[in-house]
Amino acid sequence: MDSINKIAENTEAIATALSRPDPFWDTQWFAALIGATAALLITSLIDQTAKRNKILRDFYDKIAKNGHGLSLQSIGVSANIIRYGHTATRNGVSTEVPEKTFSERVIIELRKKCKYWTLPPSKIRFMLKKYEKLLSKIPDTKNLKTSDGYIEATEYYQKILDFVYKKTGENIWTAR
């Protein structure tokens, strides 16, 4: 008789457990959903990090192999060749377009050769932006190589090259 009472009690407990709805967050399905979402998030973060690192590594390699291409000496030569001042005529009206300063022409050449703003946020992007600001301080003088702006920009570009060589494991002799 005792065992029949225990069976009846257990049957009632099972019936009450089945009739009472569990909260949604206390289910195995909800736990699986959270786990799958976390796995997808982690996988996408890993993929984005790998893509970012590849873009930066390719950019570092490009600068390491052609480090002199963005130097002030190199872009300064190109900037000296190109002239922007001219006379524009539209509908019979002539307009004089003034010549750009040397620093403006150098910045235009830097932006043509290196579109650093398309890079993901990184130290090299910040360094190139600062390099551009230093280039904007270069004066229009005959003694350009002795000016403070020229010397400061050249020294900062060397810091950029050192950073790139450190990231790539290359140096001035092995990069080419």
Q: Is the dihedral of CA 150, 153, 159, 164 positive or negative?
A: negative
Residue 89 pLDDT > 70, yes or no? yes
Tokens 């872009």 locate to 75
Q: Are 144 and 150 in contact (CB under 8 A)?
A: yes
Tokens 């509908």 locate to 91
Would you list the domain boundaries of the chain?
60-168
Q: What is the pLDDT of residues 115-160, one digit of tens each?
A: 888 899 999 999 999 999 999 888 877 777 788 888 999 999 999 9
Q: Work out the average pLDDT over 84-96.
A: 83
Whole-angstrom distance, CA of residue 74 vs CA of residue 15: 85
Residue type, 166: K
Residue 68 pLDDT > 70, yes or no? yes
Question: Token pair for residue 122?
Answer: 């990184």
Mean pLDDT of the chain: 85
Q: Are 106 and 77 in contact (CB under 8 A)?
A: no
Q: What is the pLDDT of residues 97-121, one digit of tens each?
A: 788 888 888 999 999 888 888 899 9
User: What is the pLDDT confidence band of residue 96, given thresholds at 50, 70 and 90?
Assistant: confident
DSSP string of 46-98, one letter each residue: HHHHHHHHHHHHHHHHHHHHTGGGGSHHHHHHHHHH----EEEEETTEEEEEP
Instruction: Identify which of 57, 59, 76 has the alpha carbon closest to the alpha carbon of residue 67.
Output: 59
Q: What is the pLDDT of residues 7-20, one digit of tens each?
A: 878 788 777 766 66
Question: For residue 24, what pLDDT is reported?
Answer: 61
Give the list of residues 6+ apart from residue 111 with CB closer than 8 angstroms, or none: 132
Angle at 42 between CA 46 and CA 38, to 5 degrees: 170
Question: Tell me, what DSSP letter sits at residue 20?
Answer: S
Question: Tell me, what DSSP letter sits at residue 118?
Answer: G
Residue 173 pLDDT > 80, yes or no? no
